[in-house]
Structure 1
Amino acid sequence: MTVMEQADRIHLRDHVVAADIGAFQSERGRNQRLRFNLTVDLRDIGASRDDQVDSVLSYDVLIYAISAALADQRYNLVETLAEKIAAEVLDHPRAAAITVSVEKLDRGPGALGITIHRRAGRVSPDRTALPVDVILWSPGMAPPTGAAILCPPAPDLPVPQGGDQRRIALLALDQAAWALSGQLGLEIAESQTELDAAIRAGQPVIWAPTKLAADAAIPALPLHLASWLADRLGSDHVTIAATDPSPDPVLPQIALRPLPGAGA
């Protein structure tokens, strides 16, 4: 970045959450309002020009950082809470620096709090991969609960001949995903950002694969795509509706976990 260039920034302002926080005995066991203001300097200037959500740092990352920090422990100090939030956001590859302001709104006539500024590489986030189940869907399976990514089966429809057969197969799977969404009442996720948000929220979604997998060096087959997605998300297995899945050397090194009682 040159001297004349300034970083693009995203921000979350006046986000108020009630939480049990404080070092004084009078603060323990009772919620008080906290106001959060976050401003993040981004690494890539103008990354949003292609109008794709995966090109930018999603605002959901900021909201999740707050909720995850509050869920992690009870804090005596807003300073510690601010550090935790900063570390969570700066773990994102597009975040270069962050300013975090945390204010108590119920401890005096005004807002009492702290503002910190941290740059990437100067904090050490304590973070583990979020659990997610990647499921190769089959008719008759019960809708999942919790963080789960459903990969649709190939639709039983004639596929047009000619042209880019892999892209046509992916688009057919997108159609199957939207149809399954209507059947199960679950949302569609196409981008990495949407998948990440669903995993953090602990919600099941259905994956329409074309956007993410268009350029992946794998066949446009449901099991290959499910295994590729599991590997990308850090999951070590794929749940499938088959009693004896056959190994395939083309697949990533992902365990195929049969669903008990499911038919092939």
Structure 2
Amino acid sequence: MIDETKLAFAHPEDRAQATAPNARDRISLRDHVVEVEIGAFQPERGTTQRVRFNVVVEVRPSDAFETDDVDKILSYDTLTDAIAAELAAERLNLLETLAERVALRILDEPAALRCFVRIEKLDRGPGALGVEIMREAADERPPASDRDAPHPRVVYLSNDAVASDQLPGWLDALEADGTPTILCVGPADMARPVSGAKPAQRRIDLLAIEQNAWVLAGRDPRCLVVSTRTELDWAMRHGRITVWAPSKIVLDAVEAPPAGPVASVRLAQWFAETMHAVEIVLAGAAPDGGADLPLRRVDAAAATLL
């Protein structure tokens, strides 16, 4: 039985002999090393480590050898660009997740038939620690644009807005409008623990916001508290109103957003931009700095939110 993954990274002559007469054309990226912050363990946060990529892509035959036309081939830049794009998208805990996303991004290219990805951490042990995967292009795989999450409306609720008698009516209107809605809150108006260590205080402040998210969820069962991008995407596709629990997305962000009680509105604005929201609505709150998307303000006791 042929070990396809092993052969993918073997010498081209070895693979040609093992797969003849059905060997496919391939392009490859070998020993591409990047400094990146990745990992599920606490010592891996706040620091970078070397990660090595090896990628092999089996491609459809073309007549590029006759025309010498670069537009008819799968460019090597596609491989490095796929890696760079996924590393920039968000901080990840698992090499498995990164390998999957890199492979699927490459397989979005029409010329790509099958993709082998090997990723190794070079600084976590006496040897290279890594994963290897193989993915094939699906015949009926939807284009990337169809798989993208919907663009939501992000609504920031002040504590007065959370407690407002208008909340049920606002939720009714948001449901009827049909635009995917994500609610954001700040911390409750109560004393919180104080730590002299900035990383610890950051987590305390984020947890304070999450506690208040559950307060909002307790006011109306339509408010579903979620913490991951996967949960948010699922909820938006299924018409659920969600309340953002920010710890995971904030702590995993490649470019750290503002955090803490004084920055809760600014954090919501950052989140709205990250989610490519159609707009952000501030109920009972004022903007905190500029926003790169449409922004509206309403009073905490307003009869209508939309």
Structure with a larger share of its residues in helix: 2
Query: Shorter-chain TM-score: what band?
Result: 0.3 to 0.5
TM-score by length of 1: 0.45
TM-score by length of 2: 0.39
Whose radius of gyration is greater, 1 or 2?
A: 2
